[in-house]
Chain A
Amino acid sequence: MLPPYSGALIISEGDICNENGESLSSPQPQEANDCADWGPFHNRLRFEVADLLFRRVQMSGSHIDEILRLWTASLLEIDPNASGPFRNHRDLYETIDYSTLVDNPWMSFTLSYGGKRPEMGPIPTWMTTPTEIWYRDPRQLIHDLVGNPDFRDEIDYVPYHEYIGHQNNHRFHDFFSGDWVWKQAVSTNTMTFST
């Protein structure tokens, strides 16, 4: 809960600058995709059908086949060459798998303990058993977080300090309002403004 405040709210904000301390314009959040790129789904319809049947309804493969057969049958009345959004449930599964593969695939490696083992007594199993590690490319994950258009109004690119009230109390809330980020990423050239 933030304290109620009166008087001036002073926001001191770090400035994005070049090596000479000259201000550079702030980066703009990535615009929400205009939905032209549906990846392996090709279009919105195929994506929504896959999302509904597989994720939301969790429909069985045989039922997916049946609804796709009916879908195609209804289209054939209009166009004899028409087909539904997917050939069958396999086609739908493969499209979903392909989308996650190109996205950020899971990788794994095995880790084994190579340090000293006790000379006396039983050897703990974890010293002799290899351990599996599964991971995704961290750089790609961070890239996706920074570029996620859902966060466009709730993301900070520059550190800031807020001081409120007559005592100029430092008000902390989000991570970029804190001292650590300020120390990490703000050089001596800062700007201060009041509201």
Chain B
Amino acid sequence: MANYRSQDLISSDPSTHGAVFVPIILGSDKTTVSVGTGNNEYWPIYLSIGNIHNNVRRAHRNGVVVLGFLGIAKSMHTQPGSSTTSIQLI
């Protein structure tokens, strides 16, 4: 895929001519979410798109949505360097 710009991919397929480029923005943070009894904790994964303006994304206007939750094994919290090991797992 190196050096393949999106418009080259779009233009090579007649069915996507006139398509709008929608860059996907994914993110997470250190917030963890407990569910139910608190035995399970999750990292949220957020999703947004590059097309909407920055002020929309910063305000609480559903410009950033929750795509998913990554489960965190209990043991990961207590071990030093836990975030590194879990990132490798993912």
Which residues in A have some Cβ–Cβ distance to B below 8 Å?
16-19, 24, 27, 111, 113, 124-126, 129, 131-136, 138, 141-142, 144-146, 148, 150-151, 154-159, 173-176, 181, 183-187
Name the A residues within 8 Å of B86 (CB-CB). Answer: 126
Contact A174 B54 (CB under 8 A): yes
* Interchain residue pairs A-B with the least CB separation, the first 3: A135-B68, A125-B75, A132-B71
Contact B54 A173 (CB under 8 A): yes
Contact B22 A156 (CB under 8 A): no
Name the B residues within 8 Å of A156 (CB-CB). Answer: 51-53
Nearest CB to that of B66 among chain A residues? A136
The verdict on A125 contacting B5 (CB below 8 Å), with A157-B51, A184-B23 known, is no
Which residues in B have some Cβ–Cβ distance to A below 8 Å?
5-7, 10-11, 14, 17-18, 20-24, 40, 42, 45, 47-56, 61-63, 65-76, 79, 85-86, 89-90
Majority secondary structure, B binding face:
mixed
Q: Closest CB of chain A to B59's CB: distance in Å?
A: 10
In the assembled complex, the Cα of A132 lies from the Cα of B74 at a distance in Å of 12
Name the B residues within 8 Å of A154 (CB-CB). Answer: 52-53, 55-56
Contact A18 B70 (CB under 8 A): no
Contact B65 A129 (CB under 8 A): no
Name the A residues within 8 Å of B53 (CB-CB). Answer: 151, 154-156, 174
Given A142-B47, A145-B65; 6 other pairs, CB 8 A cutoff = A19-B17, A27-B20, A125-B73, A136-B66, A150-B62, A156-B53
In the assembled complex, the Cα of A142 lies from the Cα of B90 at a distance in Å of 22
Q: List 29 A-B contacts (CB under 8 A).
A: A16-B18, A17-B18, A19-B17, A24-B17, A111-B89, A113-B89, A125-B73, A125-B74, A126-B75, A126-B85, A131-B71, A131-B72, A132-B40, A134-B42, A135-B69, A136-B66, A141-B65, A142-B49, A145-B65, A146-B49, A151-B61, A155-B51, A155-B52, A155-B53, A156-B53, A174-B53, A181-B21, A184-B23, A185-B5
Nearest CB to that of B45 among chain A residues? A135
Q: How many A-B residue pairs have CB under 8 A?
A: 124
Majority secondary structure, A binding face:
mixed
Name the B residues within 8 Å of A18 (CB-CB). Answer: 17-18
Contact B52 A151 (CB under 8 A): yes
The verdict on A185 contacting B6 (CB below 8 Å), with A126-B76, A133-B68 known, is yes
The verdict on A184 contacting B21 (CB below 8 Å), with A19-B14, A132-B71, A133-B69 known, is yes
